[in-house]
Structure 1
Amino acid sequence: MADRPLIGISTYLEAGARWGVWELEAALLPAGYPRLVQRSGGLAAMLPPDAPEHATATVTRLDGLVIAGGPDVEPVRYGAETDPRTGPPARARDTWELALIDAALTAGVPLLGICRGMQLLNVALGGTLVQHIEGHAEVPGVFGRHLVKPVPGTSYADVVPEETSVPTFHHQAVDRLGTGLVPSAHAADGTVEAVELPGARWVVGVQWHPEMGEDLRVMRALVEAASGTAP
């Protein structure tokens, strides 16, 4: 790929990150995300939380956008009461990433939502979430694996046509689908594991963590869409 497309990745914002002799507020991102973009043929740029009015200007400088995994979406964003098992809110991230998603959808910039990113995409389009499910995050801080099965005829199935074992860690999931979204993969228990937006240039969300595995196909599809080389 001669001209590598620029892929922006949203980040965490943590109050007490530690490295070396320092303990400071930090915008950070697990290294698997930029490495996956780079291995898939893109250039990676970190997008820490910013004022939502800057989202459009940010997205216009990008060829593609990844909304990364992270904390639970605050239930007020989809009109729900907070379940006691839902984690503490990350309001700066919610506000910024919802603005990024809206800007990307408006501008037709290819978008991939990963775990939280898929859930936030669903919320951005008016959908809701299940606040707790069992069996998808067995050990705190440890990624598990389970099978996901593509829905025939979807863009995701075009990229990954077979049932696949994926790295996973989540305790929330899509409930009511957002406007225009369709499911494109499921877990064995019926949980929606991927969604997409037909008619958009390329908008896909996956519930698992491709940055923790070796399968490049989903990220490569985003990079190809961002570079204009997708079929």
Structure 2
Amino acid sequence: MPTPPKPLIGVTTYLDQARWGVWDLPAALLPAAYPRLVQASGGLAVMLPPDDPSAAAEAVARLDGLVVAGGADVEPVRYGAEPDPRTGPPARARDGWELALIDAALAAGTPLLGICRGMQLLNVALGGTLVQHLDGHTEAVGVMGSHPVEPVPGTLYASVVPERAEVPTYHHQCVEVLGKGLTASAHAADGTVEAIELAAPAWALGVQWHPEMGEDLRVMRELVAAASRGRE
């Protein structure tokens, strides 16, 4: 009996200036830890660089699952706020493209995982707002920190990771007001919302931390499993 094809998981990327070899050019960038996590979890990873938002539904239609990766701060205008002085410069092409991908995935029922910025964008896409700065969730500039998160019993996240778990963190923004239909499914010790999700039958989960920087495959494996079920 032939082996079933691996689910195709799209991962969003940066669009930035980069140097390699003799070149210094605009590039679609993605830390290798993201595709490696997808691959280790049983999926095939494909990169989704910023594109015209009108192409989002077509892109999602070819995927079995979607990962919205970490990156720049979401532009505050997207949730009706003035920028805090500590908010980073906008990545407007990413914001528009990834918000359109999220809308398309939710409309199509495509399993969706938002990581850090991706979780924040999922919240904004559903009408939520963000805290533009908090302390204690980053070790230092360019240095990944860690802290424990506590799952909320009865949630999708708790069914995947039922215990208090130490997670890799690097963020200075977080969920303020939850978007429509979203539930907080994990918290940090200081009360920060660390995971959000939609109720079944949707499979849409956001985590504030960076699973690609750790050893725990469970969240990504669950996304890949959901993507695989969607192929049946």
Place the TM-score, normalised by the shorter chain, in its bin: over 0.9
Number of residue pairs aligned between Structure 1 and Structure 2: 229
Matched, 1:59 2:28: no
Residue number in structure 2 paired with 1:198: 199
Residue number in structure 2 paired with 1:90: 91
Q: What displacement does 1:199 show?
A: 2.7
Q: Secondary structure of 2:19's partner?
A: strand
Q: State the identity %.
A: 75
How do 1:169-184 and structure 2 match up within 5 A? Answer: 169-184=170-185
Residue number in structure 1 paired with 2:30: 29
Residue number in structure 2 paired with 1:126: 127
Q: Secondary structure of 1:66's partner?
A: strand
How do 1:203-214 and structure 2 match up within 5 A? Answer: 203-214=204-215
Opposite residue 187 of structure 2, the aligned amino acid is: H
Alignment gaps of 5+ in structure 2: none
Q: What displacement does 1:138 show?
A: 2.6
Q: TM-score of the superposition, structure 1-length normalised?
A: 0.97
Q: What displacement does 1:137 show?
A: 1.1
Residue number in structure 2 paired with 1:111: 112
Q: What displacement does 1:203 show?
A: 0.4
Q: Secondary structure of 1:77's partner?
A: helix
How do 1:151-162 and structure 2 match up within 5 A? Answer: 151-162=152-163
Q: Secondary structure of 1:65's partner?
A: strand
Following superposition, which runs of at least 4 residues in structure 1 exceed 3 angstroms of deviation?
none
Q: Secondary structure of 2:66's partner?
A: strand
Distance 2:4 2:94 in 1: 33
Q: Secondary structure of 1:36's partner?
A: helix
Matched, 1:189 2:198: no
Residue number in structure 2 paired with 1:5: 7
Q: Secondary structure of 1:7's partner?
A: strand
Q: What displacement does 1:147 show?
A: 0.2
Distance 1:42 1:104, change over 3 A: same
RMSD of aligned alpha carbons:
1.1
Opposite residue 131 of structure 2, the aligned amino acid is: V
Q: What displacement does 1:200 show?
A: 3.9
Q: What displacement does 1:163 show?
A: 0.2
Q: What displacement does 1:2 show?
A: 3.1
Alignment gaps of 5+ in structure 1: none
Q: Secondary structure of 2:157's partner?
A: helix
Distance 1:97 1:200, change over 3 A: farther
Distance 2:139 2:225 in 1: 34
Q: What displacement does 1:201 show?
A: 2.7
Residue number in structure 2 paired with 1:44: 45
Distance 1:77 1:185 in 2: 24
Distance 1:147 1:67 in 2: 22
Q: Secondary structure of 2:196's partner?
A: strand
Residue number in structure 1 paired with 2:142: 141
Distance 1:208 1:152 in 2: 19
Distance 1:120 1:200, change over 3 A: farther
